[in-house]
Chain A
Amino acid sequence: MGSLESAQAPLEASVSSSASAGPIAEPLSRHSVLVRVTHWVITLCFFALLVTGIEILISHPRFYWGETGTVITKPLFQLPIPSSRNIVKTGYGYVLPDQNGWSRALHFQAAWIAVLTGLLYAIYGFVTGHFRKNLLPSEGGLSWPVLSRAIAGHLRFARPSEAEAWSYNLVQRLTYLFVIFCLFPLIVWTGLAMSPAFTSAFPATVVLLGGRQSARTIHFFVSIALLLFVIVHFVMICRAGFINRTRAMITGRQRARREGL
């Protein structure tokens, strides 16, 4: 690594980052402090919400559409898993341990932290131009040839080019924008739409979704979408270089890659 030429660092990074003006092979700046801190806080919240969400889900693994639904109404679908409550007929001869109490408490606490952190990130993103500069497709960048090339690369699990270590490609940009501005608000909205006190003050939040049970069903599917995003995100990081990418998200710096590595 010591023989690395600074000229190998892409122009964009060396212009935007004062750190790159240092000696040869000095790690280069990639993510700002706020992006890194909010990234890891939300990561922790996501896993807390995922585990506790599954715990809450198994107490009634049936889904309905509309306002109401119980074990005596026909479900939209029922997950083929055992339940933690004996009122649900699952076909399994046993009932799972019931962990709803602490799961609910942790679910809502993690949700609060995720929402407040997400708000902080959103304000930062708009004020500093992070969304515009790093996530919005660049002018002329949003075209079918670019998009199809990026998708094809992803599908082949091709290793990203050096430039992609310093800036997001089109598929990444669109995916991050979709997660930040569609999935995240939708998971919060559908969650709030299940709160009897919140919907008493803001009934439109549940009526627009088609009812309380519809909100619960959408909440389930959005959480699946978020889980898929996290899995693909993780696979891509492994493919691109787990240590370098993770270091970039922890310390803010990453090393330019030597060709052929």
Chain B
Amino acid sequence: MTDISRRKLIFSGIGAAAGLSGLAVAVRLAEKYGLIPPDHGGIYGLGETITYASQRLLTRHSMAREFPRSWISNPPFSNELAPPPDAFKRLQEGNFVDWRLTVDGLVDRPSSFSLAQIKSYPSRTQITEVACEEGWSHIAEWIGTPLSHILDAVGTHPQARYVVYFSIEPDWWESIDMADAMHPQTFLTYGMNGSDLPVPNGGPLRLRVPRQLGYKSVKFITHLTVTDSMKKFGKGLGSASPEAGYAWYAGI
């Protein structure tokens, strides 16, 4: 081995070691600042992680675009629905008076709210766009209570990292990080375009996450859980979407 190639070998060794320890430090920092999504594994984990980390660094507090009232899609649009489960039909027959939202997990006061209770909290409206991963989009006025209001009412623990939310439809559940959960435009939505939220749009209660694609805005919400880790839920990937091949973080 010549001197030159030995020197080259030593320098590339040092370079590789520096690169690897740099990477290890970056991973540590990313974990500390919550930049790694629950679905970071697998062959597409790299892309998911870079996307989520960049969005958290750039857009943690940014507000989804809001539109003038004249931009509201007319006629209003709603996507096709699977036939609702029997439990939903029974509640629908009773005009949803018995609809409950239970909140548990890392909270001081696990609670169960009726629709009337949720509606008694200060209501907010936003005129925002629903963008579907398929490509279509529409604008509506959404009326509801910021999720942060409910989370403050039950008192989340400091180690809370995600809010998991479940539909009355089996196997339809999602989760968002605390940045999106506490975001002022993330609504527990019960109204649309000036009246009650229509069933095809997720009525009586839908969690709207306007800074992410439509599939994160789960319809017919009955249950919220606050947690510090997504490992205990489903396959541990963050929600039902990654289990079906879709990204957990859908802000793109």
Interface residues of A (CB under 8 A from B): 56-57, 59-60, 62, 67-73, 85-87, 100-102, 104-106, 108-112, 194-201, 203, 206, 212-213, 216
Contact = CB atoms under 8 A, between A and B. Distances in A.
Contacts, number: 118
B251 interface: yes
Given A109-B47, A213-B137, A101 B244 contact: yes
Given A60-B132, A72-B77, A108-B47, 4 more contacts: A60-B135, A70-B73, A197-B212, A212-B137
Given A104-B246, A212-B129, A59 B135 contact: yes
A200 B65 contact: yes
Interface in B58-87: 58-59, 62-65, 67, 71, 73, 75, 77, 79-80
A56 to B, nearest CB: 7
Nearest to A56: B135
A72 B79 CA distance: 10
B59 A201 contact: yes
Nearest to A197: B251
A112 B135 contact: no
A223 to B, nearest CB: 14
A111 B47 CA distance: 9
B64 A200 contact: yes
A199 B55 CA distance: 11
Interface centre among B51, B136, B246 (most CB of A within 10 A): B136
10 nearest A-B pairs in the assembled complex, by CB-CB distance? A101-B245, A109-B47, A197-B251, A105-B44, A60-B135, A201-B62, A195-B252, A201-B59, A200-B62, A60-B134
A159 to B, nearest CB: 42
The SS class assigned to the B binding surface is loop
Given A67-B71, A108-B252, A197 B55 contact: yes
A100 B252 contact: no
Contacts of B79: 87
A70 B73 CA distance: 10
Given A101-B244, A197-B62, A109 B77 contact: no
A89 B236 CA distance: 37
Contacts of A60: 132, 134-136
Nearest to A105: B44
B77 A70 contact: yes
Interface centre among B46, B62, B137, B211 (most CB of A within 10 A): B137
Interface in B118-140: 129, 131-139
B65 A68 contact: no
A220 to B, nearest CB: 10
Contacts of A102: 44, 245
Contact of A199 (B47, B65, B136, B245): B65
B150 to A, nearest CB: 22
